[in-house]
Structure 1
């Protein structure tokens, strides 16, 4: 469900845009979440007679969603399919190629920078572990080593200037990769290595114990065992090795709690290309695009959830599991996304066959006068309202503003976000997520925008005609 603030952040970033074809309103709000991980792209003049709109809902950090919003639109233009005018294949292949690019050295460095991580000191977690170990009293560490099956007979040979070594570490220092100083990290590492238990491999000899006897004792009595018992032991050892291999395979399929950008973070993507009178929508994840056609909500995307039959089959074929709560290996609650490469490591499978894939579903439709507007939004909206409820919500407010010369779509977006915001966090998380919404007024936009103006002009013309007739 994630961590929440004591009170929601309701300040919004909103704006309106328009050209000769469409009018657009956008608003985004952090809400109850401790950080904002949504991002979006809105380019009315993406190319000749072509507009692009997109929403990205990040998880595990904002770096992948932000990077996608800033770079995916231009990346798509580099595709051969785009240059040949094949927009559908451009989206299908472009999503996969863009996702692969996310784990290139160049982009990973950029993602780390965006996440605020110190690239020069990637082993901060090891330094933290050394720090913790350095603060353990010698006698406690000795007992710990003995419990672990290590010989510590020469523990007195360890440098021990004080009975308990307390390294000089800033109590306010954080064990994280954000804002670290490389030299300070190295200094901590040196102190921890020097003052903690310096027992060499020669002084720490791991011993296997059988019925309380040492390894040497067991070896001395090994001649008394017959060959059949030795073969049984070998079989048992091989069995243990196979079990370990199975455990490793199982761990490989589990959700990792690491913090490597691009591997433990990712984003959904809903991308809409409006090309003259054709709408092409591609999506991965559970952000959604809905078209209003004669007042009816038409879903232009499919939410990708792990427990859906098609998604579940792919996940299981790739060695993954879906929990009763609908999470892949107990982690992600969606089945397609950019990033999340921890779930994409099966070398014998294609990128569209992995547990989590960036292969999109793509839908196309012809735009006519029956199509009034479309809404792109993250699941912070769709978890609260259905597609039809959102269409009704926007339609009612467009009608209410029809007499105004200046329709504010961003104001409608803001009202939509406020209506979806939960009053508290005591529930199941509905209404507590980041929220982003884009409303795009389509071919009939001028009928909405200028309806009031035309009414006034018509009334004025009628008055003039009556006046002329009376004269």
Structure 2
């Protein structure tokens, strides 16, 4: 009896104690009640057979779409690689639909001798342009070019259209003259065979210098005879007499003084003077060789003048760099304005620069800018007047008028028989921000078997490395030592 009573007391004490602990615990920790509420909601609304079945079906459907996309891309890649052309042919549209951020607003062009691939990348607009023009009007001359616009695409588009129009016409005329198909226009030559316009002369002076009765002469022939008289080998001035060199020196000094005075006048006025447009015969010497370097330089400056004049009227401050490669027979002439760049992989695998960037901090460029009254300031990179990151460009008329920025190209000429190149790379600075010359050549070597000869791969790789600019890459491949691209001999 006593034991039963004791058990009842113990049981009641235990129950009272547990109730007290439960109330105490619930009073200091509301988390338990919250979790209980959430679990109740899940049990009532989510963990139901129909809901779980629907979720499983959604997961299966999304996974199927993802696998289908990967499979289709792989199939298209194999088809493109097998037939050697992209699924979206640039010959029809010139552009391919963007399939990734790196390919947003991209374009491409593929030929059997090379390819170009360009992406807008992380820039809001695509301002790059390119040129691939082979066998211009049957002359066996081929031109490749990269134009990298800034401040808009106005300058790059204008420069491409106008420069190529002028260049094509001059090349056709010059090649025909060199081949003897067309006679050059009458031209005046000075004593060192540079073809320049001479100052008007006085007919009376000609008569004093030549007392011999001559047939009627045109003003041009009078000036030529005058120059011949001044440098004749007769008794008045033959090589054995010391006064001959003195006379030569005096004339050279006068011509130099006139040239320096003219340059000083132009510089002090800070006005762009329209460059002289010469006829095609001006660039063909007596040996029938064409001076493509001089031709490109003159036409680039003329195009820049026209661009600046139009930009003033439209108040457009855009500009563009220019990298132009002219291929004729075994000669490669490269003209560079700005910081696009070209490199060559020669027959031994060596990396040969085909151009050098025009940067404001370079000694030569800095001196020129300072002599013109300008300055160079560091704002992330060195910039002309704190504005432009390249010291040479087409357009940019506010900086062009004061000669802070110029458009005169550097010209480099390569004899391809000496270098025996495997391929060349022309690209805008979007590529060179992430690749060195050596890295780019090594990368393309491993990708030459791709449909784009590595141009697309290196462009996307540059984007993935963090390039923030438009990226345009052109790869030209020379096969079996043949350099006349697009001609009947190729």
- Aligned counterpart in structure 2 of residue 374 of structure 1, from 424, 446, 452: 424
Note if 1:388 corresponds to 2:478: no
Note if 1:304 corresponds to 2:353: no
Note if 1:345 corresponds to 2:401: yes
Residue deviations 1:426-459 (CA, integer Å, cap 9, x gap): xxxx511100011111253679xxxxxxxxxxxx
Inter-CA distance 370–289: structure 2 relative to 1 (3 Å threshold): same
- Aligned counterpart in structure 2 of residue 283 of structure 1, from 330, 336, 340: 336
- Could you list the runs of 4 or more consecutive aligned residues of structure 1 that deviate by over 3 angstroms after TM superposition? 6-11, 77-83
- Aligned counterpart in structure 1 of residue 447 of structure 2, from 379, 386, 397: 397
Residue deviations 1:29-53 (CA, integer Å, cap 9, x gap): 0001011000111101225121000
Would the aligned equivalents of 1:81 and 1:90 in 2 still touch at CA under 8 Å?
no
Listed as ranges, the matches of 1:11-22 within 5 Å are: 11-18=105-112
Report the counterpart of residue 92 of structure 1 in structure 2: 297
Note if 1:54 corresponds to 2:145: yes
Listed as ranges, the matches of 1:75-154 within 5 Å are: 75-76=166-167, 77-78=169-170, 80=278, 82-83=280-281, 84=284, 85-105=290-310, 112=314
- Aligned counterpart in structure 2 of residue 363 of structure 1, from 403, 412, 420: 412
Report the counterpart of residue 157 of structure 2 in structure 1: 66
Would the aligned equivalents of 1:417 and 1:436 in 2 still touch at CA under 8 Å?
yes
- What secondary structure is seen at the aligned counterpart in 1 of 2:324? strand
State how far apart, in whole Å, the 2-side matches of 1:60 and 1:90 are. 28
- What secondary structure is seen at the aligned counterpart in 2 of 1:433? coil
State how far apart, in whole Å, the 2-side matches of 1:82 and 1:271 are. 19
Residue deviations 1:47-87 (CA, integer Å, cap 9, x gap): 51210000000000011111212221122234647553220
- What secondary structure is seen at the aligned counterpart in 2 of 1:283? strand
Residue deviations 1:283-318 (CA, integer Å, cap 9, x gap): 110001111112111111110000000000001011
Listed as ranges, the matches of 1:172-191 within 5 Å are: none
- What secondary structure is seen at the aligned counterpart in 2 of 1:397? coil
Of structures 1 and 2, the larger Rg is shown by 2
- Aligned counterpart in structure 2 of residue 30 of structure 1, from 120, 127, 135: 120
Inter-CA distance 8–392: structure 2 relative to 1 (3 Å threshold): closer
The CA RMSD measured in Å over matched residues stands at: 2.4
State how far apart, in whole Å, the 2-side matches of 1:382 and 1:87 are. 27
How many angstroms does 1:17 deviate by? 2.2
How many angstroms does 1:8 deviate by? 5.3
- Aligned counterpart in structure 2 of residue 331 of structure 1, from 387, 401, 410: 387
Report the counterpart of residue 239 of structure 2 in structure 1: none
Note if 1:440 corresponds to 2:476: yes
5+ long unaligned stretches in structure 2: 1-99, 171-276, 285-289, 484-490
Inter-CA distance 80–417: structure 2 relative to 1 (3 Å threshold): same
How many angstroms does 1:340 deviate by? 0.6
Inter-CA distance 334–376: structure 2 relative to 1 (3 Å threshold): same
Would the aligned equivalents of 2:444 and 2:453 in 1 still touch at CA under 8 Å?
no
Given the two structures, how large is their TM-score scaled by the length of structure 1? 0.53
State how far apart, in whole Å, the 2-side matches of 1:275 and 1:415 are. 29
Instruction: Identify, as 1 or 2, the structure richer in helix.
Output: 2
How many angstroms does 1:108 deviate by? 6.2
Decide which moves more: 6-15 or 290-299.
Answer: 6-15
State how far apart, in whole Å, the 2-side matches of 1:375 and 1:364 are. 16
Inter-CA distance 372–334: structure 2 relative to 1 (3 Å threshold): same
State how far apart, in whole Å, the 2-side matches of 1:81 and 1:372 are. 36
State how far apart, in whole Å, the 1-side matches of 2:333 and 2:156 are. 21
State how far apart, in whole Å, the 1-side matches of 2:101 and 2:351 are. 33
State how far apart, in whole Å, the 1-side matches of 2:424 and 2:278 are. 28
5+ long unaligned stretches in structure 1: 1-5, 113-259, 347-353, 402-406, 424-429, 448-471
Would the aligned equivalents of 2:453 and 2:475 in 1 still touch at CA under 8 Å?
no
Given the two structures, how large is their TM-score scaled by the length of structure 2? 0.51
**Number of residue pairs the alignment of both structures matches:** 266
Report the counterpart of residue 266 of structure 1 in structure 2: 319
- What secondary structure is seen at the aligned counterpart in 1 of 2:157? helix
